[in-house]
Amino acid sequence: MAPLALAPQETKLRIAVARGDGIGPEITDATLAVLDAAGVDLELDPVELGAAVYARGVSSGVERETLERIRTARALLKGPITTPSGGGVKSLNVTLRKSLSLFANVRPCLSYSPYVAGHPGLDVLVVRENEEDTYGGIEHRQTEQVTQCLKLITRPGSERLIRFAFGLARAYGRRRVTCMTKSNIMKITDGLFMDTFRQVAEEFPELASDHQIIDIGTARLATRPEDYDVVVLPNLYGDIVSDVTAELSGSVGLCGSANVGATCAMFEAIHGSAPDIAGQGIANPSGLLLAAVQMLVHLGLPQDAQRIHNAWLSTIEAGIHTADIKSETTRQRVGTQAFAAAVIARLGEEPRRLPCARYELGSALAELARDSTPAPPRPQVKELVGVDVFLDWSAGSPAELGDRLRRCGDATLPLEMITNRGVRVWPQGLPETFCTDHWRCRFRPEGGSASWADVLALLGRLSDAGFEVIKLENLYTFDGRPGFSLGQGQ
Ligand code: NAD
């Protein structure tokens, strides 16, 4: 397999390298030492991301010029970044994934039993959606008592990710793709992801496919991972499930991940910056090293990837382990750099009992990402049929609110119901239901449509009556099907 073609002015493939925060510099140095000893011929372009950049007052954690260098490089190899808690700054990891459109996060997790104590049957490829869901970080405090986070699931975003996951399963000779969502509760958002999964599955008839509810699915995955092969999930569930599968393999320090888009790619360990062990020289560099292996495959250097991966497997098999690995086969407990030296000493060796790594696919990830383009939108009839008005109100009971709001409604937009935290409290609420200061008030003509002028007129009447409107959601139907949820108890 030939490496990616060089541009006329390029002499080597240029890789941006960010050493990261916490244990990042230690594991990056260890990883680069292995790449160097293996003779991997890349131009390494060091870039600064994370804590030092935040400290200069750059709230995104990345300078514009750095982003430009990353997007024009062939890949970014990235150490973990500490996300400062609290407001004022945004997660750099999320910013990179979203601004570079790295829509698919591929996290292979497998068992190295009996050399690492973990679940022996594990060989799972987690494919996590990387840009959507609650990770937009679109959050608001709307009232004294209530905060909200917007969960965005899109049809094109779900479709290309799911098509990518099926394509990956086909390319890697996998047999089954499992989707997990909470579509029984979030019928519109997770329901869209599940429906898209079922539609895309029809394009891959040779692959088995199933959908599971995320709670029982995760429980089963944790206890019977041998029943799973490729698992595709929305962003938040994928984040959690892939840490579960990483732990099942024996340590969160063992798994690398690829973040892939149609034009850019970023490779990193799945774990964080581990501030509790930073600077001690004991972190396991395997996650980042295996991410670098994925990067070499992506760059069209499968022979280098194979040589390093097999040296790493031989090291694990030889019982040379970092402190996080539990195993009865441990012969030597080593620190980060000594572990890298042990891998370097085994370059050219292959494991005797663990399956050998074999790479032939070259830049399959990038090609799959490019081939996963979603279908063009299908024209639909979209009709406004009402409005949900959210109020900040704490002046009485649901019945009193209902009485006052009914007078604000009219024939075009009569009051249909009021919910508090999603539960219907008017009409026919229960006295037991706990209510906050955040009310969703639905105005909708029975069976009819509404106009934007009707909505504006209603807002004027609510304002005249002294109500504080904090947000609006228009209620639409699409080809006659409601694009909004019912109230709990409706
Ligand atoms: P973490 O993954 O950093 O650590 C969790 C536990 O696993 C800790 O006990 C740690 O010591 C251990 N651990 C992690 N990596 C290890 C390794 N390579 N070797 C040995 N032990 C290891 O998770 P956290 O503590 O929740 O997060 C710390 C910081 O990292 C936070 O600021 C978080 O936002 C950030 N983070 C960054 C990324 C990323 O850059 N992609 C991912 C996750 C978390």
Q: What is the CATH number of the domain that holds 438?
A: 3.30.70.1570
Rounded to an integer, the average pLDDT of 313-318 is 97
Does residue 231 surpass a pLDDT of 50? yes
Q: Determine the distance separating the centroid of ligand 1 and the alpha carbon of 31, expressed in angstroms.
A: 17
Residue 444 is assigned to a structural domain of this protein = yes
**What is the torsion angle, in degrees rounded to the nearest 10, for the CA atoms of residue 425, residue 426, residue 429 and residue 433?**
20
**What value does the mean pLDDT of the chain take?**
93
Residue 391 is assigned to a structural domain of this protein = yes
**What's the CA gap between 284 and 272, in Å, rounded?**
12
Is there an atom of ligand 1 within 6 Å of 268 CB? yes
**What's the CA gap between 252 and 245, in Å, rounded?**
9
What domain range includes position 427? 382-482
Q: What are the Cα distances from residue 309, in Å, to 176, 317, 388? A: 25, 12, 55
Residue 239 annotated among the catalytic residues of the structure: yes
Per-residue pLDDT reduced to its tens digit, 58-69 = 888 899 999 999
Residue 420 is assigned to a structural domain of this protein = yes
Residue 427 is assigned to a structural domain of this protein = yes
Residue among 422, 406, 482, 483 at smallest CA distance from 447:
482
Residue 304 annotated among the catalytic residues of the structure: no
Residue among 300, 292, 310, 363 at smallest CA distance from 1:
300
Q: Determine the distance separating the centroid of ligand 1 and the alpha carbon of 274, expressed in angstroms.
A: 4
Residue 458 is assigned to a structural domain of this protein = yes
Q: What is the phi/psi pair of residue 192, to 5°?
A: -65, -45
With beta carbons less than 8 A apart as the criterion, state whether 156 and 203 touch. no
Q: Which atom of ligand 1 is least distant from the CA of 23?
A: 18
- For 281-319, b/e burial (b = at least 16 CB within 10 A) is ebbbbbbbbbbbbbbbbbbbbbebbbbbbbbbbbbbbbe
Residue 447 is assigned to a structural domain of this protein = yes
Residue 81 is assigned to a structural domain of this protein = no
Does residue 191 surpass a pLDDT of 70? yes
What lies within 8 Å, CB to CB, of 9 at 6+ separation is none
The pTM score is 0.90
Q: Determine the distance separating the centroid of ligand 1 and the alpha carbon of 74, expressed in angstroms.
A: 26
Residue 182 annotated among the catalytic residues of the structure: yes
**What's the CA gap between 285 and 335, in Å, rounded?**
9
Q: Of these residues, 36, 41, 210, 215, which one is catalytic?
A: 215
Is there an atom of ligand 1 within 6 Å of 283 CB? yes
Is there an atom of ligand 1 within 6 Å of 83 CB? yes
Q: What pLDDT, on the 0 to 100 scale, is given for residue 87?
A: 64
Rounded to an integer, the average pLDDT of 373-398 is 94
Q: What are the Cα distances from residue 472, in Å, to 416, 486, 489? A: 15, 16, 22
Q: Which atom of ligand 1 is least distant from the CA of 288?
A: 18
Does residue 361 surpass a pLDDT of 70? no
Ramachandran class of 361: left when φ > 0, alpha when ψ lies in -120 to 50, beta otherwise: alpha
Does residue 24 surpass a pLDDT of 70? yes
**What's the CA gap between 62 and 148, in Å, rounded?**
27
Q: What pLDDT, on the 0 to 100 scale, is given for residue 6?
A: 64
Q: Which atom of ligand 1 is least distant from the CA of 275?
A: 28
Rounded to an integer, the average pLDDT of 444-460 is 94
Does residue 195 surpass a pLDDT of 90? yes
* Structure-block tokens of residue 230: 């490729």
Does residue 98 surpass a pLDDT of 60? yes
Does residue 260 surpass a pLDDT of 60? yes
Domain count, the chain: 1
Is there an atom of ligand 1 within 6 Å of 249 CB? no
Percent of the chain exceeding pLDDT 70 equals: 96
Residue 188 is assigned to a structural domain of this protein = no
Is there an atom of ligand 1 within 6 Å of 26 CB? no
